[in-house]
Amino acid sequence: MRAIAGRVIALLPILFGLSVLSFGLLAMVPGDPVTAMLGLEASPEAIATLRAKFALDEPLPLRFLAWFGNVLQGDLGRSIQTGRPVLEMVVTALGPTLLLAGAALLVSLAIALPAGIIAATRRNRPADFAVSLVALCGLSLPSFWLGILLILTLSIAWPIFPASGYAPLLSDPWTALRHLVLPAATLGVALAGASMRMTRSAMLEVLPADYIRTAHAKGLGPRRVVWRHALRNALIPIVTLVGIQLGQLLGGVVVTETVFAWPGIGKLVVDAIFARDYPVVQGAILVTATLFVLLNLMTDLICLALDPRQRGGA
């Protein structure tokens, strides 16, 4: 319990830092949101009213405190562009993002676990080299280009899947899945490279262990030894990997969403940047970064649960 409490408390300064940075970044923006909204010919009175409405004339630290106080109460402000509450917009966008991230994680693990295990069990043989090379190529592939290539082949040359758009999963599952295939494949393949490498090295740590030799000596088949004994012990680094991946997914999702016009958090941020809609940029960045931190915490805690050895020392 104390280990858990310690980790949670250590997060508080980080979360505060995230807030300062999210606020600070957008407070130093050169362009003026009010001019952007009203146009250059706006009357001075209209500008003054609007500046007062968003409290743009207050000193920076005061604006931060007011903003931070509201954030703590779950109020991220209102969008300059649409007038809707930022929190509502972010939560709406979070659904498609999580759907895409989850699907991509499945794709990535479905490729990476078998490939990583094959590479580790056939260490330094052709299969291992092939997997390592493919993994490195995957790491080097810019995911937005991969997305463009998939659009070129699977929705333009052979129009099988739609190139962009989104449908809610519950109301129209078939259309939703068809729209999900290309973005999930893009993101999943892009992530698979890193996961293959981690699975391989995690398995390599475990395979020389005594209990593996014992399992072999007991006469268990190689398949059973690998999947039941070795994989289970390699699980801790792999869970860490999934956690890290979910974090990277949150970044990768931004890229993929803009290519496929997927209405998630990434597209929300990018659109808001172009519209100079600062409260939305701030809110979306803050929520995503907070989620990222919480995911890392969860990963830590799961590892703690999986590995009794870590509990005493922490």
Partner 1 sequence: MTGDPRALLGLVLVAVVVAAALFGPLLWQVGPEVSDFMAPLSGPSAKHPLGTDDLGRDTLARMLAGARVSLMVGMGSVAGACLLGGAIGLVCGFLGGWTDRVLMRVMDVLLAFPGILLALGVTAALGASATNAAIAIGLVNLPVFARIARAQAQLVAAMDYVEAGRAIGRSPAAILRVHILPNAASPILVQASLLLASSIITESYLSFLGLGVQPPTPTWGNMLRDAVGFLDHSPWMAWFPGIAIFTTVLGFNLLGDGLRDRLDPRAARGA
Binders of partner 1 in range 134-193 (CB under 8 A) = 136-137, 139-142, 144-145, 148-149, 151-152, 156
Rounded CA separation 177/284 (Å): 26
**Is 279 one of the binding residues for partner 1 (CB under 8 A)?**
no
Q: Which is nearer to partner 1, 215 or 289 (CB)?
A: 289
Name the residue type at position 224: R
Helix axis angle, 173-206 relative to 126-140, nearest 10°? 130
Binders of partner 1 in range 39-68 (CB under 8 A) = none
Q: Which is nearer to partner 1, 132 or 175 (CB)?
A: 132
In the structure, how many helices (H) and strands (E) does the chain have? 15, 0
List the x/- string, 16-35, binding to partner 1 by CB under 8 A.
-xx-xxx--xx-xxxx----
Out of 71, 255, 260, 268, the residue judged to bind partner 1 by CB under 8 A: 255
**Is 301 one of the binding residues for partner 1 (CB under 8 A)?**
no
33 in Cβ contact with 276 (< 8 Å): yes
The least distance separating partner 1 from the CB of residue 220, rounded to whole angstroms, comes to 27
As a whole number of angstroms, the longest Cα–Cα distance in the chain is 86
- The tally of CA atoms less than 13 A away on the side-chain side of residue 63 is 18
Q: Which is nearer to partner 1, 69 or 142 (CB)?
A: 142
DSSP string, 109-176: HHHHHHHHHHHHHTTTSHHHHHHHHHHHHHHHS-HHHHHHHHHIIIIIIS--S-SS----TTT-HHHH
- Contacts to partner 1 by CB under 8 A: 13-14, 17-18, 20-22, 25-26, 28-31, 124, 136-137, 139-142, 144-145, 148-149, 151-152, 156, 247-248, 250-252, 254-255, 258, 269-270, 273-274, 281, 285, 288-289, 292-293
